Amino acid sequence: MKITKRNFSMNYFAIGAVIGLVLFVCIYGFRVLDVTYDEWLLTGKDLQQHYVGWKFFRNAPWTFPIGCHNGLTHPYYVSVLYTDSIPLFAIFFKIFSPILPQTFQYFGLFGLMCYVLNGGMASVIIARFNKNKVYCALGSIFFILSTPVLQRLFGLLTENSRHTSLAAHFLILGALGIWIYKDKFQPYWKAALAFSILGVLCVLIQMYIIFCVGGIMCGYLLHCLLKEKDWKRTLIVFGSFGVSSFLVFFVIGGLTDVLASGSNGFGIYSANLNTLVNPYKYSTFFNEMGMYSGQYEGFSYLGLGMIVLCLIGAGFLIREAVRFGRKKMLKAKIKEFIKRHFYGLFSLFIVVSVFGGLAITTSVYWGKRIILQVYLPTKWYDLLAIVRSSGRFMWVIMYLVMILALYLITKLVRNKKVSLVIVLLCVCLQMADLAKPLKNIHNQYTSEAEEDDTLAAESFWETQLGDFKHVVYFPVNGYGLYQMMQIGTKASNVGVDVNYFYMSRFLTNKLVKQEKKRLKEIFESNQLDEDTLYILDYQNAHLYKDRCNIYEIDNKIVACKRELTGVKKYQDVYVSEESPLVELEFSYDGLGRKQAHKGWNEPEYGDDGMWTSGQSVVRVLSGGAKKAHIMIEYEKGRKKGKTKVTFNGKEKGYIDNKQSGTFEFDAKLKETISNRKSKYINWLFFDTNSTFKVKPKDEILHCGIYVKKITISYME
């Protein structure tokens, strides 16, 4: 059979694709590919968000824009895009929803697709400079096992970075491939069509990647413009990319006035200068290097095998430089190389500089140490907030480094068998370095999974939630995102909509204020909806306690017009004659945590209390009580020292950090007219003069005593 250019590309693509398929099954097993098995998606955080977003979208009626529904922001419509539920799959499978099983998930299939396409694209790129199929197969493994893909696709339960759609790195590799094969895309329509397809896929899979693809496209167009002086190509390709992406973005409901366009964080979710060599939690041999807390977003570890390959490539490059230097030809060779490739090198330099600058941001860190801090005007930060997780741009640089290393081995190792042996050994080293994290991932996804419903564990959510039609938070943003996610999960099981959920963007400030005003009018006029379950904060529960039935369910204050059975009546947290005993439990699901103001550490040695730091503060609210007896139950710390207890500026005594027990005192209270104004709040301070250090994640915590419960008793 005659080998055509198309057959050539498909043959090499198939090599990487097959390896990607095999590696996916070896790492994740077959269970995640079972479309009726969804327990593994309910283990918390991002995966659960993506799946619940799909469930609500699937059960909603079709609208236009076609990606919108109001199940998670009732009554307002938002796109399935904003729960990162992969619109490409969500819309496709919704079409066939009537014939699909009642329980249906596509995230395992998406993961398999990513591995197959990542491998296929990588193999085609390598084939550009090395036609040896074994070399392409070996080289593609580095890309298939890219550490950011391992981190993002399904990841580990211990991490906060399981953002499945961000594993679609074949889109980045596809854009690089078009540039590398630029001569194959000489006709305008080919280049325009190729980049338009990538742009549309970015919108339908993960909008963040469109910035990576768009930046690479700009580098490609600059290269063509400098070399060919052809503005027509620039206008056609850029225009088609922008128009096609925008049209699809509009059709699936990306344009919204419900969610804010961005949020603060540029400079926090950046890339560390050590990111290419920092293994984080993805090495068998090395411990993680230091980095700032949000810089997991810029994680781009090359892996030990690829680092060694880079060093070998650099060694051969130095050898060549020395060889030409001895012949007095080095300067001439460099000039010749730069002259021949100037336009491409210059364009590549611009792309790397822009992506690198955005990834590192204005706060430059090496490990935990800040090297440089640049301050920009506030308006600039507002603009850059659109790409606040800019550390992800380092992925482009990571792939360029990997391509360069494989290129150098191909071009500088004269014996092709030797080059194969070098790459094979480096692949083995890479696999050995990733063996431990791969084993952890494999064990996690081939073992029995359990739903994380610790924040919505009571039977009410299973037995009585379905009696309502709506769940409404008042205020809308009054509860944590993970609590909202678990309630949203329970609501999706019984067909109940909610007015807020864990989204990739927050509700606009304007809408939050509008909803607050509307709900306030409902409660003040006593017009609660019979079919609505309201979830309140402390202040609203106190203000409207006589106008509805209020209960405490899983550390949430629940209000409704009807009476509920089998649930605990809510005890007002404002101490008063009517509420003479207030118990603030500092356990993970205790209401006391809501009154912990600042200076507290999350429980790392159990879930029944919280650690004080140097200074920790508790809010005490009075609903009319002028005096109260306060009892503090605590456990000892791990270092000798004392904790001074102060209430409303008056010293009440000292706690020995090395002894467990209770501390009691009487105190005068000022009435809490508004818990949003500090002058109406009673402040309880714990000042710990000696703390011990722990390092639970990527930061050091200073812990003093372990406070479990604070009881406030009304005194006449």
Cβ atoms of 257 and 508 closer than 8 Å: yes
Q: Which two tokens stand for residue 212?
A: 């990576």
The stretches of 536-673 forming alpha helices (DSSP H) are: 538-543
Cα 337 to Cα 323: distance, rounded to the nearest angstrom: 16
Mean pLDDT, the chain, whole residue set: 91
pLDDT at 487 over 60: yes
Percent pLDDT > 70 in the chain is 97
The full DSSP string for 188-227 is: HHHHHHHHHHHHHHHHHH-TTHHHHHHHHHHHHHHHHHHH
Which whole number is the average pLDDT over 351-377?
A: 89
Instruction: Please name the helix (run of DSSP H) or strand (run of DSSP E) that holds residue 311, with its range, or none.
Output: helix 304-326
Which whole number is the average pLDDT over 633-660?
A: 94
Q: How far is CA 693 from CA 545, 659, 689, 699, in A?
A: 43, 18, 13, 10
- pLDDT given for residue 605 in this prediction: 55
pLDDT digits (tens, 9 = 90+) for 54-70: 999 999 999 999 999 99
pLDDT digits (tens, 9 = 90+) for 274-303: 999 999 989 999 998 988 878 889 999 999
Q: Which two tokens stand for residue 417?
A: 């068998």
- pLDDT given for residue 1 in this prediction: 42
Instruction: Please name the helix (run of DSSP H) or strand (run of DSSP E) that holds residue 26, with its range, or none.
Output: helix 5-28
Cα 370 to Cα 368: distance, rounded to the nearest angstrom: 7
With bands split at pLDDT 50, 70 and 90, how would you rate the model's confidence at 263? low
Which whole number is the average pLDDT over 587-594?
A: 76
Q: Which residue has the tokens 């391992």?
A: 150
Cα 535 to Cα 23: distance, rounded to the nearest angstrom: 45
Of residues 342 and 677, more confidently modeled? 342
Q: Which residue has the tokens 């329970």?
A: 490
Cβ atoms of 542 and 573 closer than 8 Å: yes
For the chain, how are helix, strand and coil distributed in percent, rounded to 5? 50, 15, 35
Cβ atoms of 434 and 284 closer than 8 Å: yes
Instruction: Please name the helix (run of DSSP H) or strand (run of DSSP E) that holds residue 560, with its range, or none.
Output: strand 556-560
Cβ atoms of 201 and 110 closer than 8 Å: no
Q: Report which of 643, 538, 535 is spatially closest to residue 584, judged by C-alpha positions.
A: 538
Q: Which two tokens stand for residue 50?
A: 């993506």
Cβ atoms of 684 and 617 closer than 8 Å: yes
Cβ atoms of 276 and 356 closer than 8 Å: no
pLDDT digits (tens, 9 = 90+) for 416-436: 999 999 999 999 999 999 999
Please state the pTM of the whole predicted model: 0.89
Cα 594 to Cα 580: distance, rounded to the nearest angstrom: 19
Per the rule left: phi > 0, alpha: psi between -120 and 50, beta: everything else, 265 is left
507 bridge partner residues: 259
With bands split at pLDDT 50, 70 and 90, how would you rate the model's confidence at 264? low
Which whole number is the average pLDDT over 307-313?
A: 96
Percent pLDDT > 90 in the chain is 68
Cα 165 to Cα 216: distance, rounded to the nearest angstrom: 20
pLDDT digits (tens, 9 = 90+) for 91-107: 999 999 999 999 999 99
**What letter represents residue 465's amino acid?**
L
CA 288 to mean position of chain CA atoms: 19
